[in-house]
Structure 1
């Protein structure tokens, strides 16, 4: 009896150990993505371009899928690494650097996951890190060293990408995941930890039964970097869209008519400013929002809403659509005509980039102002009590010229981080440029008001930060797009394109701007009633503050 009990106990123990050693296919593939990317940028022979590295992945994947235990999987990786050639000792690698590092992004602790890797493999990966490649990376470079964001090189185009090959689908995704892993300055801020993203993306890629499903899985992967610069384009995207005569905004989670592209089209449109749109072709707007949410990129909700509305307001057909709206307390159903985009373009208005409005207050449309306009503008504004700079648009590189008149000395307005290509995954702090002027003895002495909203993105946010260092300045509006820093454009192959913020931008005290947006002193949002009344409530608040 005792022998039978002991045998049963040992059998259960061995079964438990065997079960513990088993690794799911998704976990195996995720570990392959990490090792493949690590070797791509760290192994001296691989980072120097001595292998067809994409092909190496395609060859190793079938072996990985056949592994039935941690030990077998690690042995496959060890044999692979041994076949790549020598990793010579790197004497420079252990020298202490004088650089100030920003290491919130840096994480190679996955080396030591005991559920996936053996100690021997973990130690091998650590050895490669300690003796990593130093030199010109074969796959990435910094086009402008004074900036530092990366660009890709020596990556195949795959003009005839066979999306039906499951390994090719993984290859494209793994390539992108590793670019983010090592060269995206804001990886640490993603809602879903970046290491976990693979575990949700891989099953989507494997189950894709159409090219569109494959592209949608990639788009969802891109969306998870939570970056308003992270747009996505693929060959299955419609080539042409048609649009209604009206513009929309999402206010308090409701889709609202905010204006019209042309007055001539407005006259024939049955909708009015302030109408709340409830449905398109009998599909509730809330359902359309939920259906498209996972495919909309953005650093924060305000930026995502800016893009989300286009997903279902536009159409791939020119025919009219049935639209249900709430106007006051009345629900109306109307047919709305759709147009080609050229029909919506209007002539530029005659408004100059700047003017004096109520009670000696200057107003500047920063989206129109050119560098050559600044001197004349500031001369015209020299006796005003306040200047309102409207940055709810995309400026034209005028901030340093304007700061010359607003800031009486050279001042810091940002600091930045950029990727260390000698130690991928690490980022280096760098002091930013200054703006302002010692030479200008007649600095503007009135109040400065900056207007911002979700359309204030990237260079617009950078411009706002530069003007915020003036002495008598207030920023009003709502959360900006939260995407600052020079953009890295990425072509992943097969006509699939995307981008990401390539450097980190912070206030001089280290405060983040990514995802959060710029600092706002007075928060104010447009309202549905304000739209109905044709009011610009943010500008109204600016005028109130300018007069006070």
Structure 2
């Protein structure tokens, strides 16, 4: 640790308020940075205060809790934590939390004046807008609602809801939007990206100002809301980020996003049908059919002209997946799509296929099974919920007895990183590594001539540790592909950093982060990636993807034979480790 960091840590430790125990000091000294140390300390005190007030505390307990929070608030307002807070948003906002906690305790004590003082002090840190309205609408502050000072606090808190409100917030769907609304929607997305987007470096040739001027006459000329969104949805892809998109209103979903119940994929240089998810179509379309043309247009030209302009993607592999799998056949539900197909014998035919729901699935989500050689296999198809964690936990007794484990995240499009960590906790006794995360700080005008972008670290919570329960210590292989995305990539990067086993398959999608949602005129919405993630060692993977240790993938022949070369390669790898 650099001497300057040690000096700051010592200063922070010396600045601890009276009553800090040895454990808190040790926690602070072991932290990776002074800002993180200060954040962790403030959270520890808050958690201890909350724990002390769980069961109908008496007045002395409430007064003691208020005293501890007063001390913490005073400490947060001393020069060192205040300075550290300028570069750490999570630490800075602990001031908001402490004043809110303090106000709630004073309400319980009947100290109306002190409660209002704390809420007014909270305004010095931030005007919280909708979040503040939710906080102050809590039942804890019901006794204050008749107070003029409290009403003034509510009014100030609501300021961001007025000054920063999305142009689309009060604009419901209509078949035609005014030209002012159309311009406002373009301006909203463009300006929010200009201020918050974190991956402009992945689109180095993009002139964002010029782009705005080019789109302005297009949105002005788009008379219907359908035409407007057809123009607007081509804006986000220019930023080259899979977490940055524009979506049409619900009322237009069936015109833009309806798909036939089949799955296609670019395999080498060939577009293949890899799944038919409809009973009615099963006799007409076959897995292994080659898709030659769409509506009479050669499939590659159709993809380039009709699909690619609407594809928001971070990497070439992400772009290919979205273009040839997710979006290739999207369109109006009322219009069937005409497919030109070539079967395994080389015979050409045409099929008219309706865009509509699927009624047949070819695989079991979160499927678990034991494979040859006593190898356990589990697919983790998403991290949107804890379904995968439950499936892993249910299978854990069998996994513990297995001679090898394959975890398949090839179809995992992400969700919550925490769900992946709960699985990794059963594969290691080490702390789970995490991505390094940053957000954009304020643009700085240097000498009134140059604008800078400062990166503000996002404080990370304490690392997850291995489970107190069973930990599988046998060989592990993780299967990856271009559809391994977002939180699934967080899972893979942690697995790699742990050096727990091999990854096998194809490079991941190369896109993770935290999007900010934007309401657009006519009921549409957009999102912009505002969190920049790096590998635990500082390396880059967004815009590149995580390469597997062993490359493997499907072929035209393997698809037609129903094989899985990636899984077969993983089994061979695990067998070779014995």
Task: Tell me the residue number matched to 1:520.
Answer: 548
| SS of equivalent to 1:172 | helix
**Distance between the aligned counterparts of 1:334 and 1:348, measured in 2?**
24
Task: Tell me the residue number matched to 1:154.
Answer: 165
One of 275, 281, 291 as aligned partner of 1:277: 291
Q: Which has the higher helix share?
A: 2
Q: How many residues align?
A: 416
**Distance between the aligned counterparts of 1:347 and 1:257, measured in 2?**
14
Task: Tell me the residue number matched to 1:201.
Answer: 215
Written as runs of structure 1 = structure 2, the 5 A alignment for 1:221-260 is 221-235=235-249, 237-239=252-254, 243-260=259-276
Deviates more, 1:508-517 or 1:235-244: 235-244
One of 419, 427, 430 as aligned partner of 1:409: 430
Deviations 1:341-360 (A, max 9, x none): 1xx23379668632221101
Deviation of 1:449 (Å): 1.0
Cα gap change, 1:177/1:187 in structure 2, threshold over 3 Å: closer, same or farther? same
Deviations 1:182-238 (A, max 9, x none): 222223322524344324333433444554443233212111221212232224735
Task: Tell me the residue number matched to 1:334.
Answer: 350
Deviations 1:501-527 (A, max 9, x none): 332221111222322223422222322
Which structure 1 segments of 5+ residues have no match?
A: 1-91, 103-132, 146-150
Deviation of 1:166 (Å): 4.3
Deviates more, 1:311-320 or 1:406-415: 311-320
Deviation of 1:490 (Å): 1.5
Deviation of 1:389 (Å): 0.7
Are 1:537 and 2:565 an aligned pair?
yes
Q: Is the 8 A contact 1:163 1:169 kept in 2?
A: no
Q: Is the 8 A contact 1:260 1:266 kept in 2?
A: yes
Task: Tell me the residue number matched to 2:486.
Answer: 458
TM-score by length of 1: 0.66
Are 1:325 and 2:360 an aligned pair?
no
Cα gap change, 1:291/1:201 in structure 2, threshold over 3 Å: closer, same or farther? same
Deviation of 1:139 (Å): 7.8
**Distance between the aligned counterparts of 2:317 and 2:428, measured in 1?**
31
Deviation of 1:456 (Å): 1.3
Cα gap change, 1:238/1:251 in structure 2, threshold over 3 Å: closer, same or farther? same
**Distance between the aligned counterparts of 2:130 and 2:443, measured in 1?**
11
Task: Tell me the residue number matched to 1:383.
Answer: 401
Task: Tell me the residue number matched to 1:483.
Answer: 511
Task: Tell me the residue number matched to 1:178.
Answer: 191
Deviations 1:444-487 (A, max 9, x none): 22221111112211122122223333343111222322221233
Q: Is the 8 A contact 1:392 1:452 kept in 2?
A: yes
Task: Tell me the residue number matched to 1:307.
Answer: 322
Task: Tell me the residue number matched to 1:499.
Answer: 527
Q: Is the 8 A contact 1:183 1:419 kept in 2?
A: yes
Q: Is the 8 A contact 1:412 1:433 kept in 2?
A: no
Q: Which has the higher strand share?
A: 1
Written as runs of structure 1 = structure 2, the 5 A alignment for 1:367-378 is 367=381, 369-378=387-396
Are 1:365 and 2:379 an aligned pair?
yes
**Distance between the aligned counterparts of 1:435 and 1:425, measured in 2?**
28
Cα gap change, 1:195/1:541 in structure 2, threshold over 3 Å: closer, same or farther? farther
Deviation of 1:416 (Å): 0.7
Which structure 2 segments of 5+ residues have no match?
A: 1-78, 90-122, 136-159, 445-451
| SS of equivalent to 1:294 | helix
Deviation of 1:495 (Å): 1.3
Q: Is the 8 A contact 2:367 2:378 kept in 1?
A: yes
Indicate the RMSD between aligned Cα atoms, in angstroms.
Answer: 3.8
| SS of equivalent to 1:239 | helix
| SS of equivalent to 1:367 | coil
Q: Is the 8 A contact 2:272 2:556 kept in 1?
A: yes
* Greater RCO (CA < 8 Å, at least 6 residues apart): 1
**Distance between the aligned counterparts of 2:554 and 2:462, measured in 1?**
34
Cα gap change, 1:386/1:200 in structure 2, threshold over 3 Å: closer, same or farther? farther
| SS of equivalent to 1:334 | strand
Deviates more, 1:470-479 or 1:536-545: 470-479
Deviation of 1:261 (Å): 0.9
Deviation of 1:172 (Å): 1.7
Q: Is the 8 A contact 2:271 2:290 kept in 1?
A: yes
**Distance between the aligned counterparts of 1:534 and 1:383, measured in 2?**
29
